[in-house]
């Protein structure tokens, strides 16, 4: 028999759960609890993380996973270019109608003026532009520009603190795709062997390609997640989807940059576009926000999570809920419960419009159609690069889980993001694909049970050529 590195049965939940780690969850014990509750991917948010913390936490993820025979993905989220206000001697109370200035001299601070960290700030904005501070809590309008400052009027007041994030909805900024900090963080991610690097504030495909070029210059193959966070990215979404390995609908900044009534439409449009061409997609931000401090979700949050599952996104993400919240494990359990129930419904099935371009994709579709017709419990496959498993996940099996058997731990980790895929590492990979041995060993370790129907998608050597096949087996 083949030798496997096994993990417990996933109980057939298809939607993957991505949990952000932080002070509340960075220990081996806490990460283990998240894995036991159903987390599949772990996020390191480099907007707040130091390099020593990232190194230690990555080691903790791998230790907790090894204890359970699990293969979670690790996603490092780069901060990206951000416009922020400078320091203030003390917080300012701004009221509607107040005048306030922004200076391109980052050191400026005063009663009605503050510097910004972006030298081209005045070149990018126009008179009449809207400036949002601290995720839209404060709103201003540009009345006039001089050589040094933007003169504004407060539309919506609030407390202005130091180093607050600035959004410029509808304004195309000339910030670089990768800051020097991002490059240092990405180098660390490659050194640590993370499975995904998430690029913040992607505006066009070239931004993704710049990060991919940095990755290709090294020795560690890592996939790129493009975070969609502003109107310019939405307008170029098809080209960005084509360039990236995965997409994240990052609804925090996206909800500030775009009219809020458009946000559900944008989310559904992006998920639809991803499932048309077979790119994995994550729906993120504010999914169970109230559970940072409360033990139960609001009914609106339950509906929001359920909607992302209904749209058949590959993964749903927790941010502050698991990084700094009081109930991190419970948040994963709540997501797991909602996802299991929604997956009993038929779903949006956007993948039915899939644009298939080769025979391997058609083989994946045939395997999924057979599994759906037979109400099979699992689709089993051997995969070297992960491609066959990704394309099978793209076809969205109705009930069957996808057991992807592979030799490379890096391939296995990357597959953990894909809907319905349970990666299983084969320690002694064999080109002859002993299917019956694989099924027997999967049964022995709890992935399959006697009497279950399994569809096997495999490649076998036929004379001098490799032949692809789809087989049906009943677990004995």
Catalytic position from the list 13, 227, 251, 396: 227
Catalytic position from the list 15, 25, 222, 285: 285
The pairing of strands 421-426 and 453-462 is unpaired
Q: What is the pTM of this model?
A: 0.93
The pairing of strands 99-103 and 149-156 is antiparallel
113 vs 147: CA distance, rounded Å: 15
From the list 178, 177, 180, 198, the residue with the least C-alpha distance to 189 is 198
Angle, nearest 10°, between helix axes 328-342 and 28-37? 20
Domain 15-80+177-343 has CATH 3.30.360.10: no
298 vs 288: CA distance, rounded Å: 8
3-state helix, strand, coil in the chain (%, to 5): 35, 25, 40
Dihedral in degrees, nearest 10, Cα atoms 23, 303, 244, 84: -50
Domain 356-474 has CATH 3.40.1380.20: yes
Cβ pair 165, 178 in contact under 8 A: no
From the list 436, 315, 392, the residue with the least C-alpha distance to 38 is 315
376 vs 394: CA distance, rounded Å: 17
The tokens for 378 are 């699992």
Q: What residues contact residue 110 under an 8 Å CB cut-off, 6+ apart?
A: none
- Predicted local distance difference test score (pLDDT) of residue 5: 58
Q: Is 43 a catalytic residue?
A: yes
457 vs 404: CA distance, rounded Å: 10
Selected from 3.40.50.300, 2.40.33.10, 3.40.50.2300, 3.30.1600.10, the CATH number assigned to the domain covering 83-167 reads 2.40.33.10
Cβ pair 390, 411 in contact under 8 A: no
The CATH 3.40.1380.20 domain(s) of the chain lie at: 356-474
- Predicted local distance difference test score (pLDDT) of residue 400: 95
3-state SS class at 63: helix
Give the residues across from 132 on adjacent strands: 139, 167
- Predicted local distance difference test score (pLDDT) of residue 8: 46
- Predicted local distance difference test score (pLDDT) of residue 466: 56
The count of C-alpha atoms lying within 13 angstroms of the C-alpha of 176, restricted to the half-sphere facing its C-beta, is: 10
Q: Which of the residues in the chain have pLDDT under 70?
A: 1-11, 429-433, 459-467
Catalytic position from the list 84, 268, 360, 365: 84
Q: H-helix or E-strand containing 228? A: strand 223-228
Catalytic position from the list 13, 16, 43, 70: 43
The CATH 3.20.20.60 domain(s) of the chain lie at: 15-80+177-343
Q: Is 285 a catalytic residue?
A: yes
409 vs 209: CA distance, rounded Å: 25
Q: What residues contact residue 405 under an 8 Å CB cut-off, 6+ apart?
A: 2, 4, 380, 381, 382, 383, 424, 426, 438
């Amino acid at each position: 028999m083949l030798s496997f590195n096994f993990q417990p049965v996933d109980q057939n939940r298809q939607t993957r759960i991505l949990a952000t780690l932080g002070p509340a969850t960075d220990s081996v014990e806490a990460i283990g609890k998240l894995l036991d509750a159903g987390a599949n991917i772990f996020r390191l948010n480099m907007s707040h993380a130091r390099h020593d913390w990232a190194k230690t936490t990555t080691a903790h993820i791998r230790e907790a996973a090894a204890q359970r025979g699990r293969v979670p993905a690790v996603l490092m989220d780069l901060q990206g270019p951000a416009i922020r206000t400078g320091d203030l001697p003390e917080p300012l109370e701004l009221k509607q109608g107040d005048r306030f200035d922004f200076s391109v001299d980052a050191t400026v601070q005063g009663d009605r003026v503050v510097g910004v960290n972006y030298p081209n700030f005045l070149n990018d904005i126009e008179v009449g532009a809207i400036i949002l501070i601290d995720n839209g809590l404060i709103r201003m309008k540009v009345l006039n520009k001089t050589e040094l400052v933007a003169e504004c009027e407060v539309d919506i007041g609030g407390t202005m603190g130091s180093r607050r994030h600035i959004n410029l909805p509808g304004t195309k900024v000339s910030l670089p795709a990768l800051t020097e900090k991002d490059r240092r963080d990405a180098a660390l991610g490659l050194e640590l062997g993370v499975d995904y690097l998430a690029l913040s504030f992607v505006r066009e495909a070239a931004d993704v390609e710049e990060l991919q070029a940095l990755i290709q210059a090294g020795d560690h193959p890592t996939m790129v997640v493009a975070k969609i966070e502003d109107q310019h990215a939405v307008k170029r979404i098809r080209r960005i989807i084509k360039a990236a390995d995965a997409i994240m609908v990052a609804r925090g900044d996206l909800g500030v940059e775009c009219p809020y009534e458009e946000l559900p439409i944008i989310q559904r449009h992006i998920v639809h576009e991803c499932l048309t061409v077979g790119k994995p997609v994550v729906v993120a931000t504010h999914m169970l926000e109230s559970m940072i401090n409360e033990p139960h979700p609001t009914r609106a949050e339950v509906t929001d999570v359920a909607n992302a599952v209904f749209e058949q996104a590959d993964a749903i993400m927790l941010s502050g809920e698991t990084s700094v919240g009081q109930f991190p494990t419970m948040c994963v359990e709540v997501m797991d419960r909602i996802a299991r129930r929604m997956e009993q419904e038929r779903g949006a099935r956007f993948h039915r419009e899939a644009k298939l371009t080769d025979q391997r994709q058609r083989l994946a579709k045939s395997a999924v159609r057979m599994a759906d017709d037979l109400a099979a419990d699992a689709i089993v496959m051997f995969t070297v690069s992960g491609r066959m498993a990704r394309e099978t996940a793209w076809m969205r099996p109705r009930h069957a889980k996808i057991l992807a058997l592979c030799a490379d731990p890096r391939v296995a980790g990357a597959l953990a993001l894909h809907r319905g895929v349970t990666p299983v590492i084969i320690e002694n990979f064999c080109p002859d694909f002993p299917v019956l041995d694989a099924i027997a060993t999967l049964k022995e370790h709890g992935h399959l049970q006697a009497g279950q129907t399994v569809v096997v998608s495999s490649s076998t050597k036929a004379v001098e050529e490799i032949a692809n096949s789809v087989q049906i087996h009943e677990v004995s």
